[in-house]
Structure 1
Amino acid sequence: MKAPKTLQDAILYFADADNCLQYMVDRRWPEGVVCPTCERKDPTFLKSQGKWQCKSAHAKRQFTVKVGTIFEDSPLGLEKWLPAVWLITNAKNGVSSYELSRSLGVTQKTAWFMLHRIREAMKQDTSHKFGFGGPVESDETYVGPNPQKMHKDRKARMQAKDGLKGEYVGKTAIHGMLGRELRQVRAKVMPNVRRDSLQESILNNETPFAKVYTDELSGYDGLEKQFIHKVVNHSIEHVRGQVHTQGIENFWSLLNAAFAELTLLLSHSILIVTSPNRYSVFTTVRPKTTHLPTPTVSLVCSCRPLTSASPMQR
């Protein structure tokens, strides 16, 4: 059966344990069930237990469809897990643990546990560099408290500590890059947006002579020595043909909208998901405080649709 397209379809379909089992089997083993230990292709299905048993003699002969996936070692059934995956991958602005708890009829702690496992499964390898798949947009933003709502003493302390002024006082700098063809965003918490910091981040994530599109910030000056660097001056124009940073700026708007609904206390894990063909974001950002270090790297990864077998596996 095809993947459910609406929430009503998902609720009705995944309410049946047999449907959940068949759904997982079709996506994990499209060519037939395989033993995860020895990879033998003719295990026997034990219907009364909902398990398979491998015909070879070895440890862990019996296995379920949850073995080797994010659902393993969880007492929750697939009739809870699969609707949770569907909800998260189809929510434009993310799903909180409280919302998931109400939707599935589980405790908030259970929903929190499920969210973290699903988010971990949605992460992709980011060890490769941008550049081979088309142009890369680069931009920076600030997230954090509103300086206009700060007490003047706190504002003065933060201004003296960070050296920032005006609307940037007390905020954390984030540098982001969007690979247009790969449809992937990577973001990193930065100590500042000076030239050495920004260009080091770009060099670590982009191949030489790749197309890099930025705004007119002076921190990007000199990139033309190693990249095909094009600049759009926002005081004059926002788009010049294919040269623009609208994609990464749209990502910032989603990120800031998510932060606006949160209280910045310790750290935040934010999941922003649009449709399977668009961006899915998982990022961890810590605000500037006197007792918490700034994390060195914060990754933002693209997502695959629920119909793929890979999100089900670690």
Structure 2
Amino acid sequence: MPSGRGRLAAMANATQLSNDVGDEPPQGKSARSGGHFLLSRAARDFSLAHVEKMNRAQVHSWFVNARWGDDGTQVCPECGNIDQHYWIKTRWQWRCKDVACGRFFSVTSGTKFADRKLPLKSILRGMLIFCANVKGISACSLARQLGVAYQTGFVLLHKLRESIIEATSTLPLEGVVHIDGAHVSGRIRKPRVKTPSTKRQARDRVPFEEDVLHKNRRIIMTMRQAGEDGEGAVRTIVAVVPRESAEHVEPLIQRHVKKGSKVMTDELAAYGRLSMLYDHQTVNHSKEFSTKPKGGVNNNLAESYFARFRRMVIGQTHRVTPKYMFDYTSEVAWREDMRRCSPSLQVKTLLTASLKKPSVWWRGYWQGQNRSTEILFDPGQLDQGS
């Protein structure tokens, strides 16, 4: 049988579907002039119907191309040797050509899916479901759709979030940057009955101000770089801090926003000294959302991020604890930045990120091997000279 590049090419040609399965990102972006992207053909270029038509070889080729490309070579996860290694057809594995190594490895060895029990097709299906649900999906719902246990769906989702965190660019934002913070978690329990002094209904929201020192209270800080007019945000960086104070806000912005950029915030005192390093502009939210009807000072890009995050919490996850809050905030940032990308491109991007490194936090989670602490921004880690 052919090996190396010839084998992969033959496998791809022999198993190509009669219709396009989204191998290239789409060119069209809207269904009609002014239409929403989700109504366009580009938003449905890769679906569960496509996945169901794919055979084992086609699914395997998606993973191979996402990890090593299509040049026919593989990288041995044990010794790092790059070669057209021996293909063992009966095992769907390779054997390293290095005589001193000789290790057998698969397309998922040394990745987030190492020692997997799920078939590759189920993993690909799960990724597509993850990407198609633009406001997130719960582990319970994913497990039902894949026909697996809740524990399997939970770990799969968190492995995808771990991949997103590792793949997020840390290059400083520049140009126009919208910044804001949102209070998350840490609410006191709602009252059982109506309170005579306030006439509050038991179903009403309890304001954060009533318990500002709650142990689970956190602030999500989001910084979003604006694109051209009408393009919205093009990059998002998020962090979790205990308080929206100058002690945490200033070092965070200095690390992630290029000096001299135009920064737009509300009039919170924590942002008061940003004008020393940035073109700082503010909007008084007690009076208006924007200083002008169009093109005025606002931080609406940051607010749109929080709108998606809150809808994910309300409609899908229902609660987010501090320990894994950064994982969920990073997922929403990724969704915002990829909102106008086709499903095929989203899945490929996510798949490539998942196949780069083994899982640090989620391998053996249900056996007690999990992350011990939450991920909080540390002001003391500000790089010298940044």
Greater Cα offset, 63-72 or 116-125:
116-125
TM-fit CA distance, 1:263 = 4.0
Q: Please give the alpha-carbon distance, in whole angstroms, between the structure 2 residues aligned to 1:11 and 1:51.
A: 23
For residues 178-189 of structure 1, the aligned pairs below 5 Å read 178-180=224-226, 182-189=234-241
Q: TM-score, normalised by structure 2?
A: 0.62
Relative to structure 1, is the Cα distance of residues 173 and 40 closer, same or farther in structure 2, using a 3 angstrom cutoff? Answer: closer
1:246 matched residue in structure 2: 300
Relative to structure 1, is the Cα distance of residues 266 and 151 closer, same or farther in structure 2, using a 3 angstrom cutoff? Answer: farther
TM-fit CA distance, 1:251 = 0.8
- 2:220 counterpart letter in structure 1: I
CA offsets 1:181-203 (integer angstroms, 9 cap, x no match): 55123132232x33444323322
> By percentage of residues, which structure has more helix?
2
1:173 equivalenced with 2:219 (yes/no): yes
- Aligned with 2:339: secondary structure? coil
For residues 216-227 of structure 1, the aligned pairs below 5 Å read 216-227=267-278
Question: Where do 5+ consecutive residues of structure 1 fail to align?
Answer: 153-164, 281-303
1:278 matched residue in structure 2: 339
- 1:27 counterpart letter in structure 2: A
Relative to structure 1, is the Cα distance of residues 265 and 202 closer, same or farther in structure 2, using a 3 angstrom cutoff? Answer: closer
- 1:313 counterpart letter in structure 2: K
2:310 matched residue in structure 1: 256
For residues 149-160 of structure 1, the aligned pairs below 5 Å read 149-150=190-191
1:30 matched residue in structure 2: 70
- 2:307 counterpart letter in structure 1: S
Please provide the CA RMSD for this pair. Answer: 3.1
Q: Please give the alpha-carbon distance, in whole angstroms, between the structure 1 residues aligned to 2:167 and 2:91.
A: 36
- Aligned with 1:169: secondary structure? helix
Q: Please give the alpha-carbon distance, in whole angstroms, between the structure 1 residues aligned to 2:303 and 2:255.
A: 21
1:90 matched residue in structure 2: 132
For residues 1-16 of structure 1, the aligned pairs below 5 Å read 2-3=22-23, 5-13=46-54, 16=55
Mapped contact 1:184–1:279 kept (Cα < 8 A): no
Mapped contact 2:83–2:97 kept (Cα < 8 A): no
1:312 matched residue in structure 2: 355
Q: Which residue of the other structure, out of 80, 83, 99, is the alignment partner of 1:41?
A: 83
1:55 equivalenced with 2:97 (yes/no): yes
- Percent identity over the alignment is 21
1:119 equivalenced with 2:161 (yes/no): yes
- 1:31 counterpart letter in structure 2: D
Relative to structure 1, is the Cα distance of residues 151 and 169 closer, same or farther in structure 2, using a 3 angstrom cutoff? Answer: farther
CA offsets 1:14-62 (integer angstroms, 9 cap, x no match): xx32221122122222211323234332222111111122332022432
2:30 matched residue in structure 1: none
Q: Please give the alpha-carbon distance, in whole angstroms, between the structure 2 residues aligned to 1:31 and 1:77.
A: 25
Q: Please give the alpha-carbon distance, in whole angstroms, between the structure 2 residues aligned to 1:83 and 1:239.
A: 45
TM-fit CA distance, 1:83 = 0.9
- 2:138 counterpart letter in structure 1: S
- 2:179 counterpart letter in structure 1: S
TM-fit CA distance, 1:279 = 8.9
Relative to structure 1, is the Cα distance of residues 275 and 5 closer, same or farther in structure 2, using a 3 angstrom cutoff? Answer: farther
1:103 equivalenced with 2:145 (yes/no): yes
Mapped contact 2:187–2:207 kept (Cα < 8 A): no
CA offsets 1:286-314 (integer angstroms, 9 cap, x no match): xxxxxxxxxxxxxxxxxx72223334322
2:242 matched residue in structure 1: 190
Mapped contact 2:222–2:236 kept (Cα < 8 A): no
1:67 matched residue in structure 2: 109
1:138 matched residue in structure 2: 179
Q: Which residue of the other structure, out of 50, 56, 81, is the alignment partner of 1:17?
A: 56
1:208 matched residue in structure 2: 259
- 1:186 counterpart letter in structure 2: V
- 1:58 counterpart letter in structure 2: A
CA offsets 1:76-132 (integer angstroms, 9 cap, x no match): 22122111111112211112111111111111111112112121112245683523x
Relative to structure 1, is the Cα distance of residues 60 and 276 closer, same or farther in structure 2, using a 3 angstrom cutoff? Answer: farther
- Aligned with 2:134: secondary structure? coil
Relative to structure 1, is the Cα distance of residues 114 and 60 closer, same or farther in structure 2, using a 3 angstrom cutoff? Answer: farther
Mapped contact 2:260–2:277 kept (Cα < 8 A): yes
- Aligned with 2:162: secondary structure? helix
Mapped contact 2:235–2:337 kept (Cα < 8 A): no
Matched length: 275
